[in-house]
A and B are shown apart, each in its own frame.
Chain A
Amino acid sequence: EDQVTQSPEALRLQEGESSSLNCSYTVSGLRGLFWYRQDPGKGPEFLFTLYSAGEEKEKERLKATLTKKESFLHITAPKPEDSATYLCAVQALALNDYKLSFGAGTTVTVRA
């Protein structure tokens, strides 16, 4: 069974204080690892897809990286609008299996 563990559960940052979120995963074969942002009362909003170890993706103040066992989401000089829950999900490399298995998320709060 695919397992996704995110840490920490919650992160409180001062505006401008960079930090990293961790996503550890166990999957028989990785088709893709996905990062989403979820605001309260909203659905997950797609951020990045990573496919292979060593890959990196960037979007504004966010940068995602991938190894064979974990992924990191780096937030550089965060602003209050970066406050959200960040979800990591994996998609296994299996026939006709495209479901996402999600972690519990990291709730980030950025104070001005």
Chain B
Amino acid sequence: EPEVTQTPSHQVTQMGQEVILRCVPISNHLYFYWYRQILGQKVEFLVSFYNNEISEKSEIFDDQFSVERPDGSNFTLKIRSTKLEDSAMYFCASSERSGTPNQPQHFGDGTRLSIL
């Protein structure tokens, strides 16, 4: 069964450094998302991406965050200058477009980001 793939599984970074989290969505999917889950808290929406542009973003997704689809398969989340509070599990998700945007979102297994 097709799945969303995320790399790396664990990233350790010094505060203030830039980090790029990578995702390969399911191949026929056209909607892409990033969520994060701080340890012990709810899964929170960060950003959605469709047709090569951001379609929606949360208050969390400020100027230090950016997303990109550099080629036909990868979807990346960049954090420009990491802070301690960015430590979390980051999940990528994708959904297909079939005229009904409420198709289920399928999630990867996440990247655990640890900021030191």
Query: Which residue numbers of A lie inside 8 Å of B, CB to CB?
Result: 31-32, 34, 36, 41-46, 49, 51, 87, 89, 91, 96-105
Contact = CB atoms under 8 A, between A and B. Distances in A.
Chain B interface mostly? strand
Q: Which 5 A-B pairs have the closest CB atoms?
A: A43-B107, A99-B45, A32-B102, A102-B43, A46-B104
Interface of B: 4, 6, 31, 33, 35, 41-45, 48, 55-56, 58, 91, 93, 95, 101-102, 104-110
30 contacts: A31-B102, A34-B104, A42-B110, A43-B4, A43-B93, A43-B107, A43-B108, A44-B43, A44-B91, A45-B107, A46-B104, A46-B105, A49-B102, A87-B43, A89-B43, A96-B55, A98-B31, A98-B48, A98-B56, A98-B95, A98-B101, A98-B102, A99-B33, A99-B48, A100-B35, A100-B105, A103-B42, A104-B41, A104-B42, A105-B42
A49 B4 CA distance: 19
Nearest to A94: B56
A45 B101 CA distance: 18
A93 B6 CA distance: 29
Given A36-B107, A98-B48, 11 more contacts: A31-B102, A43-B108, A43-B109, A45-B107, A46-B105, A49-B104, A96-B56, A99-B48, A99-B56, A100-B45, A101-B45
